Structure 1
Amino acid sequence: MTGGSGPLKGEPRVEIDPALPPEGYRLTVGPDGVSITGGGEAGVFWGRQTLRQLQGPDAYRRAPVRPEPPTLPYLTIEDEPRFGWRGLLLDVARHFMPKDGVLRYLDLMAAHKLNVLHLHLTDDQGWRVEIKRWPRLTEVGAWRRRTGLGWGDPPIWDERPHGGFYTQDDLREIVAYAAARHITVVPEIDIPGHSQAAIAAYPELGNADVVDTASLEVKTDWGVSPNVLAPTDHTLRFYEDVLTEVLDVFPGRFVHIGGDECPKDQWRASAAAQARIRAEGLRDEAELQSWFIRHFDRWLTERGRRLIGWDEILEGGLADGAAVASWRGYAGGIAAARAGHDVVMCPMQHVYLDHRQADGDDEPVPFGWVRTLRDVYRFEPVPPELAGTEHAARVIGTQANMWTEAADSQQRVDYQVFPRLAAFAEVAWSHLPPPDERDFDDFQRRMDQAHYARLDAMGVAYRPPSGPLPWQRRPGIPGRPFPGPPREKHRP
């Protein structure tokens, strides 16, 4: 049905039709009102989001501002997502985001039909999840005494302590709020690298025969820490305790265990680590890292869950049943898919939203490569090496990642995430033409005509198309821009 328009009449009529895909829907607007048919409850929900779009920007406000109902075009829309995993990573470890901020981002994700929130809960700079069996993880690990500002040399410091954590009930609330919006929350607990905050809380977790772990503190600057977990039975039992409580809070199938950026120097120097390598019949430190991952892959599988990790888990042998989040480019995802493993494509060269949006001195704390709105809209989750092959179906989805070393507030996160998340959401949901054939001018026109106004109604402090506003700049805080065009690095 097309042609004509009329005022919105009451609540939409809703029904379920199992013949439609679970997240698919049919939306019909006509003189007799609105009907939404979904393949499942999620499909109905996404149909409601499309209806919200049709109602205009005021529909995104928290309360009505006009008494008259909006006028809607008469039409029928049938739609379904391209990918089942349409994700956003929020790094709440480097800079803590209070619970209300996470709930707000779930609303923003729902408005963009994204359905996976990846919460990066632990890192060298902070531990953000309450673990009752090991309380010092938050008593000590959730707080750092100061924070590096940008990447200057010599460093610039914010001398205020920084921290925070979520109680388990906070996280249950987040999970329930997400579920009501058909969003799954995937927790990340980093193993065996990115673990200095945990070692600061419990020094026996570190390689104490190599370094004075009792003197370590939660890391205050950025970069990869050399302090990694010791490959001991105690470490395994400790993280089993941690994950037991995590599984009780997060009911989703996937648990992310990191597995990335684990320097091997301490293991090379550690007599205890070398003894473990010999005892397990491992060839080297890379296989020792794989030993960690395989252990928790088996442990999670026994409990009906599934491990996902960054593409370094390919090194030393990929754990059976594990899925891969391919961040260092497409190569890790291609290798994993060809080996029969599911893949979430999130290459830093394309969808790392902490990377700068323009080349200029006005960009706040400029980091990484320039990734414009156009660049994100041209991102293709299925690389040519897999397209048209039996392995393409192994790409179960895609994800945009927002790391927060330089994003210390809700406004800074908003600036980095939007409007690029809108482009990413369209890529993740829609069956778009190949990148070179995509009509970015049409996308930009739709942004200008409607979507920036929707973001305004939701109170999003996005980067304007003309560049940062004066209060969005961070003069005097040095960044770390990457030179040249983005290229794949560190192929496994």
Structure 2
Amino acid sequence: MDLIPAPSHLDGPYRASFNLGTETALAASPGTEGVARWLRATVGAALGCDLLPGTAGADRTITLRTDPSLPPEGYRLTVSSAVEILGGSAAGVFWGAQTLRQLLGPAAHRRACAAPGARHAIPHQTIEDAPRFSWRGVMLDVARHFLRTDDVLRYVDLLAAHKLNVLHLHLTDDQGWRIEITRYPRLTEVGAWRPRTKRGHGASDLWDDTPHGGYYTQDDIREIVAYAAERHIRVVPEIDIPGHSQAAIASYPHLGNTDVIDTTTLPVRDTWGINPNVLAPTDNTLRFYEGVLEEVLGLFPVETSPFVHLGGDECPADQWKASPAARARVKELGLADEEGLQAWFIRHFDRWLAARGRRLIGWDEILEGTLPPGAAVSSWRGYAGGIAAAEAGHDVVMCPEQHVYLDHRQDGGVDEPVPIGYVRTLEDVYRFEPVPPRLSPQAAAHILGTQANVWTEVMENRSRVDYQVFPRLAAFAEVAWSTRLPAPAERDLADFERRMTVHYRRLDALGVDYRPPTGPLPWQKRPGVLGRPIEGAPPNV
């Protein structure tokens, strides 16, 4: 068995086989028509099979059906003289179809048929499976380095191939605003572009003087959301407030603390790190972002995007402390000090989103203050924030940087390109446990799931993103999905690596520029570009 993620139960395989060929039919019961379209467009196209409509249950036919007795995302895949995929919902049928695709081999992952007329054998077997977590996500930072729409759609397909079901899009930051807001056109006319970009991190003195930018039109966003929904993936938009907002301030200077700095001279930021330029705590700022979010909610339907991520991280209060207007606002609101303004922003937009049937989620800094009851937390600075939130009754997505920040280097060798963070090997990710053992049962029930985060400060294109993400995303996917994994120290890394030998061939067929297990290929290296942390430098460099 070489499936990734590993299923919870496998009966077989046996010597007899089902042979998929040009005569294979496809029968889709009501509610599974979308899965049938996907199978014909992907597996059918890759293997040269039309998968014409057939009779449910007939020999040489793939039958798709829902069975409410199964978990919503669970499935039962039976291979005999015919193939049947039962799912607790259309999503479960879809994940079963992804397993069928893996069983058919790497050829089923290509875009067109390389061997017309070939027959593809699958041993008789029964696989029963269901995910451990309902939130199995990837955060993709398209603000620091923009990825075109077709690149995002490609990543949706890569998430689906690994049974991941949440794409968190980090759409705004100091270095770029990536979503069209029609009532505020300067957000993309100005905020989506920067004249140059820092190469590397920390003490690097290298620059890329090529202007960088781009944004998604509203039709682009609708396409991404619809494409993901067809693959049973939810898209969570992130609009970062009140920090990480320099691109917005460069576009509309009144959003900044104008009594402290001349915001009319602020550009879209061209380097990295925590930024002192934050939003002014004014009613005008609230109204501006309410306008932004009104358009965002119209693009991300509640059925597929109930959560809206508002960041809330890394917001220094220095400008507020220096601002007479901000200090007056602190007094007016009855806050203890200027630090409380960040929580005030979060509370305001939690109420605003809740009134429109949405839920706020933010990075674990939103715990610094009174967190509204319905807000959820992305725990990134370790387990502590997630533990505190869960024990207080808040839902949590575990994404600690020490384990699942895929921008961190994969090896300690000098050939690793732009060595950001600390070494996080394939084994490290495979031994990650999203639920801390000391959580009470009641708190553990608040762990919605887990998420791998992909920050793109030093990932300038799709190939670099591939290198950092893969193969570690395969290990993460098994952690997020599989109910059969034992405690981290007891996990069978050797078996996982054996299964990866086949999975690398699937990734090859999908065109993924992953990091080979032997180390970076010559064209994947970036010699002489400094990363972070730097030996001997302060921790915040």
Q: Name the residue aligned to 2:7.
A: none
The Cα shift of 1:120 comes to: 0.2
Runs (4+) of structure 1 moved beyond 4 Å? Answer: none
Aligned-partner residue type, residue 207 of structure 1: N
- Contact 1:19 1:39 survives alignment (8 Å): yes
Aligned-partner residue type, residue 215 of structure 2: F
The Cα shift of 1:204 comes to: 0.3
Distance 1:227 1:22 in 2: 45
1:161-206, Cα deviation, whole Å (9 max, x unpaired) = 1000000000000000000000000000001000000000000000
The Cα shift of 1:63 comes to: 1.3
Distance 2:332 2:503 in 1: 59
Aligned-partner residue type, residue 15 of structure 2: G
Q: Name the residue aligned to 2:16.
A: 5
Q: Name the residue aligned to 1:428.
A: 480
Distance 1:423 1:481 in 2: 25
5+ residue gaps, structure 2: 1-10, 27-61
Q: Name the residue aligned to 2:156.
A: 106
1:70-104, Cα deviation, whole Å (9 max, x unpaired) = 11011111100000000001100000000010000
Distance 2:534 2:307 in 1: 33
Q: Name the residue aligned to 1:53.
A: 102
* Stretch deviating more after TM superposition (343-352 or 14-23): 14-23
Q: Name the residue aligned to 1:300.
A: 353
The Cα shift of 1:288 comes to: 1.2
Identity of aligned residues (%): 70
Q: Name the residue aligned to 2:44.
A: none
Pair 4,389 (structure 1): closer, same or farther in 2 beyond 3 Å: same
- Contact 1:297 1:320 survives alignment (8 Å): no
1:404-446, Cα deviation, whole Å (9 max, x unpaired) = 0000010000000000000000000002101011001100010
| Among 447, 458, 461, the residue aligned to 1:409 | 461
Aligned-partner residue type, residue 144 of structure 2: R
Distance 1:293 1:482 in 2: 34
| Among 346, 359, 363, the residue aligned to 2:416 | 363
Distance 1:318 1:354 in 2: 29
Q: Name the residue aligned to 2:425.
A: 372
| Among 82, 86, 104, the residue aligned to 1:33 | 82
Distance 2:129 2:208 in 1: 48
Pair 197,244 (structure 1): closer, same or farther in 2 beyond 3 Å: same
Distance 1:154 1:258 in 2: 27
Distance 1:10 1:57 in 2: 21
- Contact 1:381 1:398 survives alignment (8 Å): yes
- Contact 2:204 2:530 survives alignment (8 Å): no
Q: Name the residue aligned to 1:397.
A: 449
The Cα shift of 1:456 comes to: 0.2
How many residues are aligned here?
483
Distance 2:336 2:16 in 1: 70
The Cα shift of 1:483 comes to: 6.6
Secondary structure at the aligned position of 1:77 is classed as strand
Two-structure CA RMSD over aligned residues (Å): 1.4
The Cα shift of 1:34 comes to: 0.2
- Contact 1:152 1:477 survives alignment (8 Å): no
- Contact 2:142 2:456 survives alignment (8 Å): yes
* Stretch deviating more after TM superposition (388-397 or 52-61): 388-397
Q: Name the residue aligned to 2:278.
A: 228
Q: Name the residue aligned to 1:149.
A: 199
2:492 aligned with 1:477, yes or no? no
TM-score when normalising by structure 2: 0.88
- Contact 1:313 1:319 survives alignment (8 Å): no
The Cα shift of 1:383 comes to: 0.7
| Among 281, 302, 324, the residue aligned to 1:271 | 324
2:228 aligned with 1:178, yes or no? yes
Distance 1:35 1:152 in 2: 54
Aligned-partner residue type, residue 97 of structure 2: R
- Contact 2:204 2:531 survives alignment (8 Å): no
Secondary structure at the aligned position of 2:16 is classed as strand
Pair 379,129 (structure 1): closer, same or farther in 2 beyond 3 Å: same
- Contact 2:147 2:461 survives alignment (8 Å): yes
Q: Name the residue aligned to 2:51.
A: none
- Contact 2:75 2:96 survives alignment (8 Å): yes
The Cα shift of 1:153 comes to: 3.2
Secondary structure at the aligned position of 1:344 is classed as strand
The Cα shift of 1:152 comes to: 5.4
- Contact 2:202 2:534 survives alignment (8 Å): no
Distance 1:295 1:336 in 2: 19
- Contact 1:330 1:345 survives alignment (8 Å): yes
1:112-139, Cα deviation, whole Å (9 max, x unpaired) = 0000000000000000000001000000
Q: Name the residue aligned to 2:72.
A: 22
Q: Name the residue aligned to 1:323.
A: 376
Secondary structure at the aligned position of 2:144 is classed as coil
5+ residue gaps, structure 1: none
Q: Name the residue aligned to 2:30.
A: none
| Among 115, 132, 149, the residue aligned to 2:165 | 115
Q: Name the residue aligned to 2:6.
A: none
Distance 1:26 1:331 in 2: 37
| Among 104, 112, 124, the residue aligned to 1:63 | 112
Distance 1:397 1:166 in 2: 28
Pair 105,237 (structure 1): closer, same or farther in 2 beyond 3 Å: same
The Cα shift of 1:482 comes to: 6.5
Pairwise mapping of residues 72-221 of structure 1 onto structure 2 (< 5 A)? Answer: 72-151=122-201, 153=203, 155-221=205-271
Secondary structure at the aligned position of 2:124 is classed as strand
Aligned-partner residue type, residue 25 of structure 1: Y
The Cα shift of 1:154 comes to: 5.8
The Cα shift of 1:317 comes to: 1.7
